[in-house]
Every structure is written in C-alpha cells, then in structure tokens.
Structure 1
Amino acid sequence: MPGTLRRRHRQELTLRRSFMEAMQAKLSSALAGRKNDKSSPRPTENRRKDPYETRYPPLSIHHPSATSYSPPHSICILPPELVAYIFALGSQEDPLLPLSVSHVCSFWRSLALCTPMIWRRVVLGSHYNMWRETIYRARACTLDIEFHSRNRRHPFAFYEVQRYMHLVIPYINRWRSLSIVFTDYQPYLWNSALSECCTRSNTQVPDLEELCLIYRHNDDTKEFCLFSGYAPKLRRVTVDGIRLTWLSSLFQNLTYLDYTHHGLTNGYQAVQEIVNIIHVCSSLTELRLLFPIRGHRARSPTHQASPPLTSVSLPWLQVLHLRVETKDIPEELILLASIFRTPRLIELRLIDTSNQRMPFHQLRTFWSLYTIPDSLRTIHLQHGWYTKESVGFLCKVGGLKWLVIRCGENDVVHWLDSRGPGRRRPRPLMQNYSGSRFTVAGRS
C-alpha cells in the first residue's frame, strides 16, 4: 500500500534507566506486600505431605567436602584409608559388616566396594547368592572359608554340603584359611566336604595358612590326602574326628597343632600314629593333645606284645597342653608324655575339661614317668590334676617360677621365684611301664 510507513532499519532493544527503575520499584512493592501477608500459602505448602516423612524424616549424610550449615560428624574427618581399615577390622568379627556399611551412604558404599579385603570372609551355610557376590567383590584377594553348623536348627545333609563346597572349590588357589565344623551326626559329611579337595589334580593351596577340621561324630575310617600334598604356607592346624595323611610337604612347616584323636584306634596303635605325626611336625612351638571318650567307634584293645617306643624330640616346642575329658588320665596320654623331649618348653598346661572334684588315679604314675625339662617356667594344674602332694613336689623343682592352680572357678597363682635354690628332679631310667601293655626304651 502506498500510504503504509515502513522502517528501513530495526531499532535495537535496549533497557533504559527509566524502565529499570520502574521494574525495581514494582518488585520491591510486591515483596513487601507478601511479607506482611502471613496467611498467604507458600509454593511448598500446596504439595500434599507424606505422613511417613513426617514420622521418619530422611537421613542425610554429607561427604566431608560437602557444604553444610551443621558441623560434620567426627567420622567424616577421618581419611578414607583409615575408615577402610576400620571396616577391615570389623569384618573379622562380623562377616555381614561389609554388607551393612555399604548400605549407609554412597560414600561408604563406594569405599566398601573399593576395598576387597573386607569381602574375603565367606561363611557358608545360608544365602548362597549373597556369598557368591561376596567372592566376586573380593576380586583377587585371598579368601577365608568357614562352614559351621552350630547355629542351625537342622543338621546339614550330604547334598547341601556338596552344593556349598562347589561354590568355593573353583577359588581353591586363593584360600587363606579353611574352617569346617560339624556338630550333629550325618553320614558321609567328610566325603561331601573334602572329596573335591582330594580327587582333583589342581587342588593345591599355595596361600593356605590355617586349617580347622572338626567333626567329633565322624565314623568314616579312611584317610584323606588333602590339597594334592602341597601347602607351603600352612602354619596352624586343628584336627578333631578325622584321619589325615600326614605328608611332609603339607605339615612340615606347622608351628601350632591342636590334635584330638579320632578314636578309631587306641592303645599302641594310637600312640604310634601320634608319634608319626610329631615326627612330621618337628617345628611345632605349641602342641595340644586330647584323647576323647571312647565310643562305639573305638576298637577293642589288643594285648599283643608291642615294640618299644623311642623318645620323640620337639626341639622348638614352648607350650604344651595335655587335656583330659575322661574320668582318669588315658594310658596313651601318659605314655606320650613320658617319651617327649622338649628342651625349650616354657609352659605346661594340664587341663581337665570335665572338672573332676577328685584327683585322677593315674596322676602319681604320670609324674613318675614325665620328665620336667630344665627350661620350664610355668605349670597350670586344673581340677583333677591337682593334689597337695603334686604341689609340694613341683615347688621343689628348680627353675619353675609360676604355679597356677584351678580347683573351682578362680585361679590361685603361686610365685616361686623368691624361694631358695631347690633340688632338681633327676631324669628317670625306665625299663617298663608297670600295669600296662606298653614298653618304653630306657634312656640316660
């Protein structure tokens, strides 16, 4: 249209000073009116409140670097390395602690997932999928395998034990410790638990340091040859109710042995079996022996003539525990104590687990055959091992400093270092163990 006016150039948009002052005055008046009107609803009040949030407000845990008006918790000041070390110490007491701390906050979860050592403990017996995930989170870290039936209502069946062992057998080269404890009788439990450790060729355990096998009700008479005969780091072994093949390549580096006789043999045969074990484990520093109550598994004793037993040397032994749970000291234990040679023995513990009120009948025979080494400093006597005659005899032993006696619930400690020089007990020259079928070789 010829009468229409058109602009040849567009005018740029600029904020003039008058426009800025007008907008500022308008905003200030609006804010002042909202402050005076207290009944006006806020934007957050339009949302419907959740009654669960009113009763249980959400937990907020801040990272140490996060800004917060409230002062941070003292644990947030600790460096992540120290917190991870605390998690590792706690996981040794509670195997479920890594799972608990990983559900506290995102920072603790990432820290727990980046610390494989807290996932190394695997307790079989329940939660199959959870322990499989635990092994995955342990990555290349060594594993502590535990299989206990103490807190179960029903005993393990054969197929259950085999199923759980199949979970950890593929990682056998990463085992640092193995602990299997069965309390209730079920047939073929050792076969299901240890068959994969004996039959396969790739069952060596280069990192195994501790082994614990306990099943008092075992009735399997065969021997188990474990781990293809190779465990160079094995130092501590606890055995109760199982027959093992004691190879030098497996047990020659042991420093701790807690041996409870399986009860399938007795008499001279049982003593000879333990003597062979001690010959293999000559580097022991602590030894614990126990002959349990004979049950239906024990064979009738044979009264045939047996060859004499020579002395057994334990040159590095420092602590010796002789435990009795029967009404009297077993003859096998008396004979073993009489042939021990322990030149570095420091502590002798004579333990009565049955808490006998009367002294053992064989106690005088034990002290007549046992040779007290010159290095002995401490002796513990408990319940059936205690008589006034034995205490008077031990107080005259030279070199002995402490005598601990337990007749009730408390220990009575006698310090013998302040006495005068006492007479040393001479070494006995034994030709025959009277009243028994054993013969001991004489020594000077």
Structure 2
Amino acid sequence: MATSALDPFSRLPTELVIAVFAHHAADEPLGPLTTRSVCRRWLHITDSTPVLWRRIVLDNTALKLPSLHHQALLYLQRSEPFLLDVEVRTHDPDRVLPILSPLLPAVSRWRTFSTAGFRNEHIQMTDLPLSSRAPDPLPLDRLVLTLYEFDFDELDDEPDTETGSAGKTRFPTFTEDGQMHLRTSALPSFLELAPLHFTHLTISEGILEATHTNAASILDLLLATPALRVLVFEGWQHDDEPLAYATPLPLVALPYLEVLHIRTTCITRRLLSRLDTPRLHTLVLAYLNVDFRVRSAEYTGEDGDSDDEAHDFSQSPWSDHATGMGLRSLIARSRPPLKVLEMDYSDMRTKDFQWVFDRLPELEEFRIVASDMSNRVIGLLRPTYNLDDGSVHLRVPRLRKLCLDHCQRLSGDAVVAALVTRARFTDSASDTHLYSKLADVLVSACEQVDGRHEAMLTRALGRRFRC
C-alpha cells in the first residue's frame, strides 16, 4: 500500500497543515516545538511559518531557566517580523527578570505581556511608548528594582483608591513612561541573566519593611549591566555582612556610567571600592551619616585607614571613615572626570576631604548639607603660596559652584577667609584655562555665619553670593 494512503495528513496542502498547526499552537504553548520534531516536512513548515511562534509562554513551573532562555531565543527568531504575545508563568517573582532577559531587547515587538502564578497581570504593550507602533517609540532603557522581604501582590486586585476601578494592577511591570519596574525579594545574579541593555538602573530597598541587601549581590547584578549611564541605590542604614564571612566582591567595570547616586546605606565603602567608572561626572552621596560603628570601616592596611590626624569633631566617625575610604578607592582606580559632587547628610574625615580635593581637577560644583566639616576643610579651598619659588597651588581649580548648607561647625571667619581669598585669586588670575572663577556661592543656615560675614562675602562676590 502507498505511503500516502497510510498517511492522509501528508496529502493535505501546506496551507491546511499550517492552519492545523496554528490551532494546535493556540492550545499548546510548546506546540511548534512538538510539530517541528515529527518529520522533515513538518520541521520545514513549522520553521518557515512565523505566525506559529508569536505566542511565547515561558513556564518556570515546567522548565528550568536555561531551557526557558533557549525557548525564548528560538521563538524570538522564528516569529520575525510578527508582534509577540509574551506570558510568564512562575510562582517566584524573583525569576521574572531572569526569565524575560533574552526577550527584553525586542520589547518593541511585544503585543501583550501577561503573568500568572505569583500574580495575574495583563498589559497591552502596543498602548505603551515602548511599542514600535507608538507615535514616538521609546527604548526600554530604565529598570527599577524594588526589594521587599514579603509579598504585596494581593494589593493588585484591590480597588484603585485614585480611580475607583477594581482589578487594576497598581504596580505594572511596564509603565506608561517607558520603565520596567519589578518588585523582588532578592537581586538576580548575572549568571542567571542574558546581558541587560538598560542605561538607567534604580535599586531601592522597600520602605514598608527594611530589607538587607548586601554589596555582593548589588555588584553581582551590575556585572550584567555594562551599558549603564545612571545608577541609583536607595537603601536602609543596616550593616553589611561581617567581614570574616563576607562574600568576595567582584570588580565591576561600568565604562559608560556618568551619574552615581547612593542614598541611605551603610555599604558605601564596599560598593565604591569595587566600581571602575572612568566616565563618572556626577556623584551624589545622601543620608550616609550614622552614629554607630559600621563593619565597612573595619578595613585595615589600606592607605588612609589610619586615624584622622586632624582629630576634628564628628557625630558620625565610622560612616565618615567608610565614605572617605570608598571615595578614595573609586577615584584612585577610575580617575573619573568628576564635575559634580553632592554630599547630603554625608561626611568624610578631614584628611579624606584633602585627599579627594587634591585629585579632582575637573570638579565644578560641590554641594554639602548638614556636615560636621571643620574650618580646616573649608580652608583647603584657599590658594596656598610657595614662598621659595612664588608658585600657587589651588585645590579643585575648576570649582564654580559651592553650596554650604547647615554646616554648623564652620565659623564665619573661616568661610570668609577661604572664599574671599579664593575669589580674589581666581578673579585676577590670567590663566583662565587653569582656574575658574566662583560663579555661584550659597551659604545657608550655617549658624556661625552672621550678618557681618554675609556683608564681606557680598562685597567680594557681588551677585554671585546668596545667603
């Protein structure tokens, strides 16, 4: 008997076979993988029919992560040029980013996105600016990771207090301003991720309950994000692992990073000491001061780890030490062209300020709030003259903007002596390519700066001075 008589399906026209396969793929997410494995003809038909591959169901309850990555890449390639319906099935919210990572570079092709398991979510991706069909498409370049130690997904199904609508997802994975926002209990390792192409990354420890993210996990994630231009970490003031048991820290190269913002944490030194950021131009350190001993200040043997010879007053000696040593390490390794340094409720020891000022020739703006910095520190901004050869040394020679806010240890006389002397020198300097004139000086809420000092600063700086 002929083979065709035994196998009526083989006599069907290709168009009908495709229709059958499409119906099968609609009911069975892995249907294309099944049909392509039957025979050579079915393999050819399946692989050459993109419509069969447009629904990508990544089921972490059935397959492990490497298999899901292989499946995602295969579907992504075979479905070209169709839009994709992407679904993630998992009971673990920490797996969402690793599962999706191979597909994120093609997010502009997504038609819908949905999740099942730990939460139920459905997003019409073509309504977002990330879609290629949007009037002004945006790249998916911003990732926000919010860390929680427990789950708030039951809130997703409650009525929205602002709109009154029921069943609306309050914390969508993809937002209307073009961000990807995930809530997780732990950061993924770079070993679990396809390379991420985000240029902006925010990691935030949830405000409802303190989490304990260590420096090792942050640095490990950063190994998967080499394209970053902006990095923000907002934490809690909890200590890191004991040094005797601390996870070894990788050295992370972020060759394009331009802005680094670290806020409210005790792991500043461990983070800064393991970053290589040769293009960093803006560094913001906020709410790092603590009055308790932090383990990251217990390093020994590095240049500068000795006690501060100035013995200046400090309400936060341990965090001052850690912040200063972390900044020393970052600058020594990367030699960044830092132009903006902001320190808000963040301090260093006097000798760290001197070390840093001596190595920031491009710094244009320095802003410090609620600091215990002493008169010795503000005095570092004065020009110093070498009587032997008449040469002049001026730290941070390109400084144009200076803000001193709530610096209660500074005397008015020290502020006037430093800034008036500096202004006279830079205003009269002929080497304008070496020295910048002070263009904007703000002194705010410094108790020891009174009306007399304000008058002297106004005479020297004119409209460039604000109080």
- TM score, norm. by length of structure 1: 0.43
Bigger Rg, which one: 1
- TM score, norm. by length of structure 2: 0.41
